Chains A and B, each alone.
Chain A
Amino acid sequence: MTRYLRLIRIFTGATISAQLEYRANFIGAVLSSLGQVGVALLAIGVLFGQGIDTVGGWTFREALLVTGFFILTEGFIAVFVQPNMSRIAEAIRTGNMDFTLLKPLDAQFSVSTRYLNVLRVPDLLIGLGLIVYAASALTITPGGVLIAAVLYASALTIVYCIWLALSTTAFWFVKTQNVAELFNGIFGAGRFPVTAFPLPVRFALTFIVPIALITTVPAQAMTGRLSPALAVTSPLLAAGLFAVTRWFWLRAVASYTSASS
């Protein structure tokens, strides 16, 4: 365990020093992060600007909480998930996956933790800031925050599992960036509380693609109006998905025959 923690530290150091080479890009990335939050606020601000008090039963501040979780999750994907997952297909295509599999390390661990995109760290800060700002005007209990934290941890696990499962298909299909693209498209629905959507869509966003569990449910936990059923669903789904993707990954690795063969 300590060995893995030490490796994470080494990986992080290496990837940060590699990225600091490109300093000019950092300005662009910060601009892009600020633009992102501006656009998210505009989307929700325009909606509430039409003399509407609540959207799907959520007040402005409460909906802002959901937007905060949305930006935080986008940041999480951009910083931790995407840089690693997008390299899996590349490694399989070029045969570099051989080296990863030969190392005396769990291969899923090394493909999941090797890279970071430091440029998008501002997204994480902005997301957190927005959550704190939105929460400051709402009545929040410490218990609510604790449950929200647990549910959000499950949400991040779900996000990681979906991405890993999609990227693992690269062992058979070679190209997967586009599937990730598709996930991003659907995930865009997470910027609004799920109750803002018509009923059939709401159903799909909860049970078919669990976007609702990622942004709406932690926000519900914070405002203290979460149904116990949903509170249990999220961790259970996260655990189940993790087991399934782990199995899927092992199967994929077992069927790997290296590039060119």
Chain B
Amino acid sequence: MVIATMNESDGSMIAARTRVKSLGSAKSKAQLRALLLVAPLLIFLLLVFVLPIALLLTRAVDNRAASAALPYTMSALSGWDEKSPPDEALFAAFATDLKQSPRDQIAEVAKRLNYYETGMRSMLLKTARTIRNAKPPYKAAFVAIDSKWETPHYWTLIKNASPPFTDYYLLASLDLERDASGAIGRVSAENAVHVDVLIRTFVVSASVTVICLFLGYPLAALIARSKGAVANTLLILVLLPFWTSLLVRTSAWVVLLQGRGVINSALIWLGLIDPAHPLDLIYNRIGVLIAMTHILLPFMLLPIYSVMKGIPPVYLRAASSLGAPPMSAFFRIYLPMSMPGVSAGGLLVFILALGYYITPALVGGPGDQMVSYFIAYYSNQVTNWGMAAALSTILLVAVLILYAVYNRIVGIDRLRIG
């Protein structure tokens, strides 16, 4: 292409240009063929996976419910100064909306307004039920249903719900909110739960990562220095739990850790503990740490092992022949050389732990539930899609950032299981 543009007038270049062009078209044909092979899975995943998640995440900022259900009210409110008492025109517009909009849309708005101020839901629903039979003048009718409609404050709340996008849920997932003037501040202490959950998720994941590292490192070293059948057997003993169903492993821990479970009955039988006071090993943090460590340990061990296998023993021999005592040979040669495995395993375990749901739900107590639990809670128990989406966004962003780090350090193509 470059040659062709440099010699625009040269006749002999025309042939070269056609050649380049046909080469180009052959290349783009080959590209197209490769793309056609990728396309079926790509389209499938876009439809079944990427699009659903994208739709969910938009719910974190989606605020169209109020303006869709209350179009007349919103346009009447747009010219209102938020201080003067609401006039008859505003009440008439509101009455029109409440009479015309479908009940489920009104219910959606009522629920939404209740996040701003508790009590708004029942106030609006009661009004919507009664106002259907009302005739003008509407102001009197509204005030008869609930005298609070005279107060500008409640109209400000409705007006605040009018923009199509909101940062309400994202702020709420960090225990923040906007006050009447729009400034961001902390929510009241009794409503501030999300930061605790996020910190807890981080603390549990970090603890599991550290425990996995301390358990995985020596075993990886043992397997790496073993040879032949011994190494193979040890590796299979690691891989067997790795490939055993998550539910099987979690149920096994429930059976083992229960108050009248295997571990406690063994300790009682040995006379180590009092039969009346078995150890509390489950439905608390201990249970979560044990079960999650068990499930995630292979993800730590395998990357460390594969790096250790590549460390030539001759380096250590060189170190000790130069007079390094075993401890310093370990800390100055072996440990630094095995660090790529440690960082790969550590990052992987931490990332996977952040998203855990099943294991903490089955072996943890109420105080051990992580962010995944609350995403599930908001989506299928209280149907607050905004909060479910906002917490999903936070979890997803954290995981994607960590994978970007993983990609930098390890290479995402090394993400191989088994």
Q: Do A and B bind each other?
A: no
Chain B residues with CB under 8 Å of chain A are none
